[in-house]
């Protein structure tokens, strides 16, 4: 069989930028030449080991104790300082509503007018009864005056004189009774003009013109609530309250008096409420069904932003912890299993550390448990770091130092 000359590619020492040369070999078949070329290519490319990527750079903050305001955040509800239910005190038909619903009213401002004719008639009758009683009393006093000299002269018996004196006293009692009835009739007549018992905001009218109201059933006509200031009611776990008192007694938390501490509010939309209030009531008993203690704070409310029944979050500043720990918010990762941070451990290896969060103050979390002074917490580069992975800690930039210039990108020729 005739030999053939076949071209063979000769591969250089490396696959990247390989030197490829073609030379002629003789062989029986082209298959042998192709096989030899493939084996040479694979051995050249597979022999080079890949280099491991360098440890990712990270920025850290070193944990140091600092004075931290001990803030307890609790859900609460707004309550009016005063709530007055305006009810009917006489029977009658409502003639007119005298206020605008949902507006502020002052104390003693008229709200409703009830038909006064029946009560006016009762007042006139009571006045007439008083006049009649006063006339009878005057007559009995005159009789006693005439009988006094006669009994001394023994012109009349002592029994007749005593009877006249008794009638005079009874007549005076009748006068007092008639005067009291007149006062009562006057009150009922005044009650036909229904007024606000307090200053505040009047709510929706519960009765309309033409409605029959009754003093017996004390018909509710409207409600007036005082909205400046307002209360915020909330509850705290008795266990947490006990821990705060213990920290106060040991000096771990410095507070003059837990009953008069500063309280701030977070509204439903997440915005802070201003001005701040103060804690004005701390219950001395624990609710057996919930294991909580009731607390109440008072807040100014001149702009009427806070309304009764509104949900808020109260932030109670229970004192100052002189050895608190805070880390930037961006360093904390919160999952369903809890919160954790990534710290730089021995040999610059990243370690996941579970922590117990306190309150969020500004852009930093208060850490109640899990960190100690000296721990290096990773604050940037977290997306490239996994637990157990070596990292490179970026040294902090010197004050006034300019950032290093980036290397120039080569331009393709």
**pLDDT by residue (tens digit) across 106-118?**
999 999 999 999 9
Nearest to 237 by CA among 292, 281, 285, 288: 292
Domain 116-191 has CATH 1.10.287.470: yes
Kindly report the average pLDDT of the chain as a whole number: 83
CA distance 241 to 285: 12
| Residue 14 CB contacts under 8 Å (≥ 6 apart), including other chains | 44, 48
| Model pLDDT, residue 409 | 46
Q: Identify which has the larger pLDDT, 41 or 242.
A: 242
Fold of the CATH domain 325-393: 2.40.420
List all residues 6 or more positions away from 193 whose beta carbon is below 8 Å from its beta carbon.
Answer: 110, 112, 113, 114, 116
Query: Distance of alpha carbon 24 from its chain centroid, rounded?
Result: 88
> What average pLDDT score do residues 40-66 get?
73
| 254 vs 185 pLDDT, higher one | 185
Range scoring the smallest mean pLDDT among 301-310, 334-343, 362-371, 391-400: 391-400
State what percent of residues in the chain have pLDDT above 90.
47
- Gap between the Cα atoms of 309 and 74, Å rounded: 16
- Please state the domain extents for the chain: 4-46, 68-95+199-321, 116-191, 325-393
CA angle 408-410-413, nearest 5°?
A: 155
The CATH code of the domain at 68-95+199-321 is: 2.40.30.170
Of residues 165 and 27, the one with the higher pLDDT is: 165
Q: Rounded to whole angstroms, how far apart are CA atoms 329 and 324?
A: 15
More confident residue, 284 or 196: 196
Report field, pTM of the whole predicted structure over 0.75: no
């Amino acid at each position: 069989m005739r030999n053939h000359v076949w071209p063979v590619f000769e591969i250089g020492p490396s696959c990247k930028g390989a030197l490829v040369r073609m030379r002629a070999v003789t062989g029986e078949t082209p298959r042998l030449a192709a096989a030899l070329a493939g084996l040479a290519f694979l051995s050249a490319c597979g022999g080079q080991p890949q280099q491991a990527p360098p440890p990712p750079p990270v920025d850290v903050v070193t944990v140091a104790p600092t004075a931290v305001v001990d803030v307890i955040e609790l859900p609460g509800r707004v309550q009016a300082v005063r709530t007055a239910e305006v009810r009917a005190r006489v029977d009658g038909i409502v003639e007119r509503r005298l206020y605008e619903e949902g507006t502020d009213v002052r104390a003693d401002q008229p709200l409703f007018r009830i038909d006064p004719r029946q009560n006016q008639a009762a007042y006139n009758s009571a006045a007439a009864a008083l006049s009649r009683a006063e006339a009878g009393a005057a007559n009995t006093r005159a009789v006693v005056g005439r009988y006094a000299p006669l009994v001394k002269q023994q012109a009349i018996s002592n029994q007749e004189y005593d009877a006249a004196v008794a009638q005079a006293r009874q007549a005076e009692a009748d006068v007092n009774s008639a005067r009291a009835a007149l006062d009562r009739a006057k009150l009922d007549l005044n009650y036909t003009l229904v007024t606000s018992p307090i200053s505040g905001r009047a709510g929706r009218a519960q009765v309309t013109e033409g409605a029959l109201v009754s003093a017996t059933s004390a018909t509710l006509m409207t409600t007036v609530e005082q909205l400046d200031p307002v209360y915020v009611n909330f509850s705290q776990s008795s266990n947490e309250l006990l821990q705060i008192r213990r920290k106060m007694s040991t000096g771990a938390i410095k507070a003059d008096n837990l009953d008069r501490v500063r309280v701030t509010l977070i509204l439903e939309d997440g915005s802070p409420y201003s001005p701040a209030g103060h804690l004005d009531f701390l219950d001395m008993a624990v609710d057996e069904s919930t294991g909580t203690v009731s607390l109440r704070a008072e807040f100014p409310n001149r702009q009427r932003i806070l309304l009764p029944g509104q949900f808020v979050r109260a932030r109670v500043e229970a004192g100052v912890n002189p050895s608190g720990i805070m880390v930037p918010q961006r360093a904390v990762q919160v999952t369903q299993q809890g919160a954790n941070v990534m710290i730089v451990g021995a040999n610059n290896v990243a370690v996941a550390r579970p922590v117990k969060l306190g309150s969020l103050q500004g852009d930093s979390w208060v850490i109640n448990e899990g960190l100690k002074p000296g721990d290096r917490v990773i604050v940037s580069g977290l997306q490239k770091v996994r637990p157990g992975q070596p990292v490179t800690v970026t040294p902090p930039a010197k004050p006034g130092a300019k950032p290093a210039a980036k290397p120039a990108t080569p331009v393709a020729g």
